[in-house]
A and B are shown apart, each in its own frame.
Chain A
Amino acid sequence: MDGNLVSYGLQYAGYLIEASLILCLIASRQRKRQVPLAFYLSSLLAAEVARACVLHAYGLKSRQYSDVYWRTDFLVVISLFILVCLFFRRACLHQEKMWRYLRLWLTFICLLVVGISGLLFSHQYGNLFTDFVVEFNQNLYFTCLVLNTLLYLLLQQIDSADDQLGLLVCGVGIQFAGPAATLALVHLMTRQGFAESLFEFTIPLCTLGMLLVWAYAIVPVRGRAVVTRSKATVLAEVTANLNV
């Protein structure tokens, strides 16, 4: 029960931060620059809300929940791939030649993932759409993990001055690496009960970690670590001090 409470707490904290970040991005002066982030966060939030609604209505082991889970996962993974591509675009903002080359590679990688998933899927039988989506999601997720690491290396290579992008990429890295490690651990462990409860905690924790890093990167510095006091208050205190 306590474990469930913590897990729900982490989940709802994640929703709140996602919603606040979206609002912050909409209100931001650099709105246009932050469109990729807003797009990804919106799809993440939409997917989570849809899953929560279906879970509440039909339960964890229902077919409806399983369908909605994998369909929304498809949406999230696709928007993640688009986000990583747009990060590449931002990293190569002043290097058009490199971007043209990278664009070709990214398109090729996307087609390759579709092809490999199709090939693996053709050897399986069962629920056509869900099986393909599960295969495709796993492959694209792993591809995004590799691409994100390559992007980090690219940023180091070109000695990028865009500090915000560096932090955003690190946030995505935390979000990718944590669940990947947990999934591998689940696969290796024999005690499935413990593995599943570990899985329940780490995914919301990693998402929360990513959101906190993003929040640090997005929210302007002037908004932090500053205590504001009205002129009148300071004046009153100075006057009182002088009178003493």
Chain B
Amino acid sequence: MILAALILILSTAMFFFYFQVSCQKILRRQFDREYFQSIVNANRLEFPSLRKSLEEFGAPVDYPRLRMMLKCDFLALTYLLKNAANLNQRYSNEERLLILYFRWQFLSLAVRRLLKVGERKAILRLTSVLQYFANVVGQRVNTVRFGNLTAADYLLNL
């Protein structure tokens, strides 16, 4: 009984550990330039300002507003991932995995908020997923850019 409980705890912890490490390895992917900026500007996404305020000022955040901001950015970016300059109109494997990771972190944020432990870390992880998504969308849009149109112009013209 005790052994089974121990195995359960250790294996569950290891499962989440490996899942998190895999997602963070994916998030560490280097893009040749910062594609996310144009997508952020075109869609008025709020995660960069949120991250900046957390990194620079460590400002206490209004939790309901923060949740709403992250959720809206997530919905906008997942929509763009699926539909903007994506011929297949579906998510790739790593995008699915990261969507799952985002949801898990979102849940963990609520738990951390209740326990008042490591809230900031969870928010930074969530913004890094959003930045990755914005970079992927930006890179895709960049490949279909033509003439003098920028990625942002392209999206605005959609």
Interface residues of A (CB under 8 A from B): 145, 149, 152, 163, 166-167, 170-171, 173-174, 176-178, 180-181, 183-185, 187-188, 206, 209, 212-213, 215-216, 221, 224-229, 234, 237-238, 241-242
Contact = CB atoms under 8 A, between A and B. Distances in A.
Nearest to A237: B146
B5 A184 contact: yes
A210 to B, nearest CB: 9
B123 interface: no
Contact of B25 (A145, A170, A174, A227): A170
A183 B15 CA distance: 13
**What does DSSP make chain B's interface, helix, strand, loop or mixed?**
helix
Interface string B31-66: 000000000000000000000000000000000000
Given A177-B12, A188-B4, A206-B15, 14 more contacts: A170-B19, A170-B21, A173-B14, A174-B19, A180-B7, A180-B11, A184-B5, A216-B26, A221-B29, A225-B136, A225-B139, A227-B87, A227-B144, A242-B147
B97 A226 contact: no
A149 B140 contact: no
A128 B1 CA distance: 28
Contacts of B26: 167, 216
Closest 6 CB pairs of A and B: A173-B18, A181-B11, A184-B8, A177-B15, A180-B11, A177-B14
A177 B4 CA distance: 13
Interface of B: 1, 4-5, 7-8, 11-12, 14-15, 17-19, 21-22, 25-26, 29, 85-87, 92-94, 96-97, 136, 139-140, 143-144, 146-147
B3 to A, nearest CB: 8
B136 A238 contact: no
A29 to B, nearest CB: 20
A185 B8 contact: yes
Contacts of A167: 22, 25-26
Contact of A149 (B1, B14, B19, B147): B14
A132 B15 CA distance: 28
Nearest to B13: A177
13 contacts: A166-B25, A170-B21, A173-B17, A174-B18, A177-B12, A178-B11, A181-B12, A181-B15, A216-B97, A225-B140, A226-B139, A227-B140, A241-B146
A209 B19 contact: yes
A224 B146 contact: no
A176 B18 CA distance: 10
B140 A226 contact: yes
B140 to A, nearest CB: 5
A184 B18 CA distance: 18
A209 B139 CA distance: 26
Contact of B94 (A145, A177, A216): A216
B15 A224 contact: no
A67 to B, nearest CB: 27
A174 B14 CA distance: 8
Contacts of B92: 224-225
B93 A216 contact: yes
B1 to A, nearest CB: 7
A213 B86 contact: no
A216 B136 CA distance: 15
